[in-house]
Structure 1
Amino acid sequence: MDVTLNNTAADYPKEKPLYALFTESVQQYPDKTAISFQHRRLSYNEVNNTANRIAKVLLEQGIKTGEIVGLALDRTPEMIISLLAIQKSGAAYVPLDPEYPKDRVEFMLEDSGAKVLLTQQKYKGHYAGNTIELIVEDVLAQSAGYSTEEPGIDVKGDDLAYVLYTSGSTGKPKGVQIAHHSLVNLMLSLQNKPGITNADKMLAVATISFDIAGVDIYLPLSCGAEIVLADALTAKDGRALLDIVRTQGISILQATPYTWRMMLEVGWNEYLPIKVFCGGEAMAKDLAARLIPLSKEVWNMYGPTETTIYSIIKHITSEEDITIGWPVANTQVYILDEQMNNLTNGEIGELFIGGVGLSWGYLNRPELTDERFIKNPLNDNPDDRIYKTGDLAKLKPDGDIVYLGRIDHQVKVRGYRIELGEIEFNLGKQDDIKEAVVIAREDTPGIPRLVAYLLLKSGKTGMADVEQISTWEKALLAVLPEYMVPDDYVLLDIIPSTPNGKIDRKALPKPDYSHINRSGEFVAPVTENEKLVASIWQEMMGLQNISKNDNFFKLGGRSLVAVKIMARIEQETGVRLPLATLFEHSTVEQLAARLDLGDEAISWDSLVPIKPQGSKMPLYIVHGAGLNVLLFNALAMNMDDEQPVYGLQAKGINGIDEPLDVMEEIAANYVEEIINHDPVGPYALAGYSLGGIIAYEMAKQMLAMGKDVKMLAMFDTYAEQTQKFDSKAKKAFDKVWLLIKQIAYTPILMLQDPKRAIEYKLRELRKRIAKIGQKAIPVEKKQGYSAYSNEIHERSLAAQRNYELVPVDIAIELFRAKKKTFYMDDFKYLGWRPYALKGVRVHDIPGEHNTIFAPPNDKQFGRVLQACLDEAAK
């Protein structure tokens, strides 16, 4: 099988340097746009001419073929142009992301022996080292009058193109050396599959310190396509990326699963004609299931930096068949056991890769190079080497390769390859830490977290102090990029071990996420927006008791969570904030204050968290005719501690929003709020009095959406059918007939509870008198709830009078007050039996219509309701 698998031989111009593919595009498409960036558009000619001029300045500095040039530039067209210029000078480049720690960048400059550092004015003098510092703004000005002819340096395919540093297991990054011909081979192979033409637009989002950036840049430039370059902030913002894809005709986007999830979280739900290149870490089944119907093609791309970006690719057409596929051109793949036997029968082994994409090895690390780049045991050629990936894999019967994870402790988090040993090494250098073990956990699906388990010299266990964590993080950030700093710290008294004495990483405990990295003492949120922000953070980050002073980043917040938070804030408030807002407003209090600036009045949301905490299926209760959801509080407090309860209050009680008077619209408003709060479900709905009718329509709408409505409850609601389709004669007859029945039933009410019957009749009489008075003397509107409650009440009753009940395929839990204070045609089922096609189950509760929530009735009501909820949730 391996012979067929490795039948990848293809002709390619091995003698050409990488930039030659670009210059061929320049000759063929001189006036076509090569790079778009914000409002700038640069043609192939403009890019080439500028690159040639910069290359000549580098040559004036004495740069020779094979020497190293460091590049530390922000994400602008000049970054890409400078990469081409360095190649044209004959030098190899070391990509340095300015967002990386200063010490780490300086280590790369020193270790690589970079002769020149090409950077920009804002970073002038920032990095120490034995390099000649060139400022790109000065270089562009200096070379403005230079000839745009090619520099004429003879660069060959066997020359070095770049040195890219990856995380190192011994505590130091290691530089991977890649030759020009390896990149040329990959670009030509990718032109064929997955495929790209000069008509494509490719959105570039990867940092240049991540090897996949090479595909972002050189693949489109190799064939006359257009690069749409995203700046650093946009590249981290799923909403901004989605907007670009939608509006700028993007046809190819390469990103990690982490970035694809960010885009899906912010509302990507329509088909977009793009090719999805998914690389950097393993593709999950659920991610594939979401991407396939929304895009033109989905490609799973696999490869270590040491074998030139991508070595194996697969067109994914079903989430049930996720593999990494087959090798790219001129690439050999082997799955070997510990004895170096070739496993072609589907057994699991370690993945080894050979071919023209193989790196020269690690710069200045011959021992590590010899360890990872070994002689191919399957042939006698002493010069044929293969790379030991450390990944587990197996072959399917059809030859596809299935990726099965890591052998060692190298992990992928948020698309970055991380040697956990490097983090452990740097933690171990802290004075108070005796031993450190770091693992990657994914206790919340889709949100990986780095967790550090520590033994302290002091013997302290449990939670680390805020000051301790701050000290450790400061030390780590000085030498490691942000993505390698642990999210959580757990203090242990012993590191668990296996019987043979090795660390038992599987036995490391799950952190207590409710007490993580807090900023001092708990201070409760006070304002509405503080409470809103805190509740959103709690839900999205899986934490409890968020303080107004808690910092998003110290809580372990990352981009994917930030996207979800900002999307939820937009849903709840209508205010759309960029992700960058979190850098300046990183606490609950600060972000809430920023939201305050965007609103002219307090937002009165319909969804009211009465008792939002709890792990059980939430219950959403719709207000009654009095519009007051506060009365549900006592009921909620008598339910299980883990039972969340939310109330729904009418639109318009702030005196600004127009009240609704159509039942379908009222229900749709509440449904929208519930789904914004919980898009997945399942759902339990309830309504009191008039609210029961609204809840019935809500359930009808949610079922039509395909939502899982586990329970629909009526709190003493009567199913009164509309008379709007009846003739005037029938309406008059029914009115008189109802009055007769009510009068006839009065003696029964008097016998059961004379005092209550009299009170009820007097209250109804007062209502009628008050209504007549309001018509005679209009009341001036005032600010606040009470001024608008009557108007909303009347509109709600109008909505009920015009609402036609129709049968729905659902069951109803009917909570019926034991005491009757008025006549009903159907005392047993309160009129619901014709409309609940799955039946009506009756629960008698103490009290009468207006007192079922009052003590002591609330206790029994709460117990019965909780039992129904628990049964429904099964």
Structure 2
Amino acid sequence: MSLDIEQSMLEEASRILHREIDRDENLHEHLNINKLLAFIQGVHGRLGIELNVNSVYLYKSVGELAEAVCRGVHNDVPKLLKLSDGGTQPPMIIFAGGVSCFLEIKSLLQGITHEGAIYGMNLTDFDFPNVRPATVSDEIDACLAELERQGIDGPVCVLGYSLGGIFALELARKLRASGREIRLLGLIDTPQSEHVWPLPVWIGYVLHRLRRRLRKVKAGLRASRTSPVSVSQKTEIQPRRMLLHRLRPLIFRFCSPKSDIYPELAPEWVGGYTPDYQRVGTQLLRMKGLYRPTVYDGRLVYYRAKGGDPTECDQRLIWQPFLPNAEWVDVRGNHLSVIVGKNGVALGQDISRRLERANRTALTAPAAASAPFAAGVAHFGKRVARR
């Protein structure tokens, strides 16, 4: 049985990488986020086994993965996953985008130089019913409990990409409220749900979206005249659901995150996912829909992708009122490419420079704070001596 599992995984990995691979090759070095998801979907289709998106951090080769599957531990991924060891500097907690696949931010991590441990915080699979979906607060409570369980106290650095930035922001808020120092807080192109966009911003975006949709319809009509769609290509869908899908640019803002169809109407939704991935993905979309931001008066860096995101408006328009002390930094790429390849490495290097400055400031701050006291003591001593 174990040989069959291993052989099926080897064939699937070889198909995706377009070459034969060895059972002991490091998958982490060869896969990116898209290839990893294709591998997970292929293994699920062949074997009915779904791998966790971060399994490759624990079991780095097909051989190790197959052995983990046979032992039933392939999805035992810790909530706080150590991505790199560190020295004396405060640890960094990173939230990835989507369902917390840290392979997605591989280039970003390659660019970060940090003299402290780096941890990836996995999303909790709450599996709550739609009528009481999990919220951002539920996730933050789980994160705080995990940090306490791991004995991580004192100053921390917190970083979040995409929706992970919301968790980074709210974790930093809770830690600050408890008296903890946030050495550095960074949000990377983090969106908000259009439920809370200012009305003029939403109207402008909807008009842009409708114009784009109209261009696609016109192009489709022209194409259909030359190549008619066969019956087998048509998707069977209930008339009511079809109507909602067609109207989703207009109605999504007013749809309840607790409704059954809500995830399907979200602009980010693609569909066709494996069961566990889909469950966590829909949970995340409902979290985003229920989230309502409040003012965070601490210092942070917001990295905004110059290329934007076709499913979102300009993030500065919606975040600026809530982040009065944010430093806004425009970086190369769009929402997806900002963390990939050279863009990701460059972004990681910028974060490293800011970390270094923050650590230097923290080292000199106690001395600077004690200087007035020392001067006062010296002055008092002179007065006593004169007497």
Conserved 8 A contact 1:686-1:712 = yes
Within 5 A, what are the aligned runs for 1:749-760? Answer: none
Q: CA deviation at 1:788?
A: 1.0
Q: Which has the greater radius of gyration?
A: 1
Deviation at 1:643, TM superposition (A): 4.5
Instruction: Label 1:856 to 1:806 Cα distance change in 2 as closer, same or farther (>3 A).
Output: same
Q: Give the alignment of 1:661-672 within 5 angstroms.
A: 661-672=134-145
Once residues 663 and 735 of structure 1 are traced to their aligned partners in structure 2, the CA distance between those partners, rounded to angstroms, is: 23
Quick one: which of 119, 127, 136 aligns to 1:658? 127
Query: In structure 1, what is the equivalent of residue 346 of structure 2?
Result: 860
What CA distance in whole angstroms lies between the structure 1 residues aligned with 2:334 and 2:99? 16
Give the SS at the match of 2:93. Answer: strand
Match of 1:835 in 2: 322
Is the contact between residue 618 and residue 684 of structure 1 (CA under 8 Å) also seen in structure 2? yes
Following the alignment from structure 1 to structure 2, what is the Cα–Cα distance between the partners of residues 835 and 741? 25
Q: Return the match for 1:702 from 175, 178, 183.
A: 175
Residue of structure 2 aligned with 1:679, choices 152, 165, 169: 152
Secondary structure at the aligned position of 2:102 is classed as coil
SS at match of 1:661: coil
Tell me if structure 1 keeps the 8 A contact 2:127–2:283: no
Tell me whether 1:846 sits opposite 2:332 in the alignment: yes
In proportion to residue count, which structure has more strand?
1
Distance (whole Å) between structure 1 residues aligned to residue 159 and residue 182 of structure 2 = 11
CA distance in 1, matches of 2:201, 2:341: 37
Unaligned runs of 5+ in 2: 1-70, 215-234, 236-240, 246-259, 262-272, 362-387
Q: Aligned partners of 2:108, 2:205: CA distance in 1, in Å?
A: 33
Q: Which residue is 2:205 aligned to?
A: 738
Instruction: Rate the CA distance shift 1:821–1:703 in 2: closer, same or farther, 3 A.
Output: closer
Q: Note the C-alpha offset of 1:860.
A: 0.8
Q: Structure 1 residues 661 and 743 mapped into 2: Cα distance closer, same or farther (>3 Å)?
A: same
Matched, 1:629 2:102: yes
* 2:301 alignment partner, one of 805, 810, 813: 813
1:464-613 paired onto structure 2 within 5 Å: 603-613=76-86
For the residue of structure 1 that corresponds to 2:138, the secondary structure is helix
Please give the per-residue CA displacement for 1:575-623, whole angstroms capped at 9, x wherever unaligned. xxxxxxxxxxxxxxxxxxxxxxxx9966332211111333332221112
> 2:357 corresponds to which residue?
871
C-alpha RMSD of matched pairs (Å): 3.7
Residue 814 of structure 1 aligns to which amino acid in structure 2? Y
Q: Distance in 2 between matches of 1:648 and 1:830?
A: 28
Aligned in 2, Cα 1:850/1:823: closer, same or farther, shift over 3 Å? Answer: closer
Distance of aligned partners of 1:845 and 1:644 in 2 relative to their CA distance in 1, 3 Å threshold: farther
Residue type of the alignment partner of 1:794: T
Q: CA deviation at 1:693?
A: 1.2
- Counterpart pick for 2:119 among 613, 637, 646: 646
- Pairing 1:715–2:188 present: yes
Give CA deviations for 1:778-831 in whole Å, capped at 9, x if unaligned: xxxxxxx9421111111111112111111122122011112234275545x352
Q: How does 1:162-173 map to 2 (within 5 A)?
A: none
| Preserved CA contact (<8 Å) 2:99 2:280 | no
Q: Quick check: 2:90–2:155 contact (8 Å CA) kept in 1?
A: yes
Distance 1:823 1:658 in 2: 26
Contact 1:648/1:670 (CA < 8 Å) preserved in 2? yes
Q: Deviations over 1:482-507 (max 9, x none)?
A: xxxxxxxxxxxxxxxxxxxxxxxxxx
Question: Would the aligned equivalents of 1:624 and 1:691 in 2 still touch at CA under 8 Å?
Answer: yes
Partners in 1 of 2:140 and 2:186 — Cα distance? Answer: 15
Give 1:835's aligned amino acid: F
Counterpart contact for 2:300–2:326, Cα < 8 Å: yes
Task: Indicate the percent of aligned positions where both proteins have the same amino acid.
Answer: 20
CA distance in 1: counterparts of 2:291 and 2:309, whole angstroms: 25
CA distance in structure 2 between the partners assigned to 1:823 and 1:791 by the alignment:
21
Measured in 2, the distance between the counterparts of 1:831 and 1:621 equals 23
* From 277, 280, 289, the counterpart of 1:789: 277
Aligned ranges for residues 118-267 of structure 1 at < 5 Å?
Answer: none
In the alignment, the residues of structure 2 paired with residue 825 and residue 734 of structure 1 have an alpha-carbon distance, to the nearest angstrom, of 8
Contact map agreement 1:720 1:831 (CA 8 A) in 2: no
In the TM superposition, residue 714 of structure 1 has moved relative to its aligned partner by 0.7
* Residue-by-residue CA offset, 1:149-203 (whole Å, 9 max, x unaligned): xxxxxxxxxxxxxxxxxxxxxxxxxxxxxxxxxxxxxxxxxxxxxxxxxxxxxxx
User: Aligned residue for 1:595?
Assistant: none
Greater helix fraction, Structure 1 or Structure 2: 2
Q: Which secondary structure state, in structure 2, belongs to the residue aligned with residue 832 of structure 1? A: helix
For residue 322 of structure 2, what is the amino acid of its counterpart? Y
Shift, 1:668, TM fit: 1.6
Amino acid at match of 1:831: I
Deviations 1:390-442 (A, max 9, x none): xxxxxxxxxxxxxxxxxxxxxxxxxxxxxxxxxxxxxxxxxxxxxxxxxxxxx
Q: CA 1:722–1:671 in 2, change beyond 3 Å: closer, same or farther?
A: farther
SS at match of 2:321: coil
Residue identity opposite 2:205 in structure 1: L
Answer yes or no: is the 8 Å Cα contact 1:610–1:646 preserved in 2. Answer: yes
Following superposition, the deviation at residue 679 of structure 1 comes to 3.3
Q: CA 1:631 to 1:826, structure 2 compared with 1: closer, same or farther past 3 Å? A: closer
Distance of 1:607 and 1:615 partners within structure 2: 19
Structure 1 equivalent of residue 165 of structure 2? 692
Q: In structure 1, what is the equivalent of residue 255 of structure 2?
A: none
Which structure has more relative contact order (CA 8 Å, sep 6+)? It is 2
> Aligned with 2:82: secondary structure?
strand
CA shift, 1:746, in A, is: 9.5
How far apart are 1:637 and its partner, in Å?
Answer: 2.2
Given that residues 847 and 857 in structure 1 are in contact (C-alpha distance below 8 angstroms), is that contact kept between their aligned partners in structure 2? yes
Check 1:845–1:676 CA distance in 2 against 1; reply closer, same or farther (3 A cut).
farther
Q: Which amino acid aligns with 1:808?
A: Y
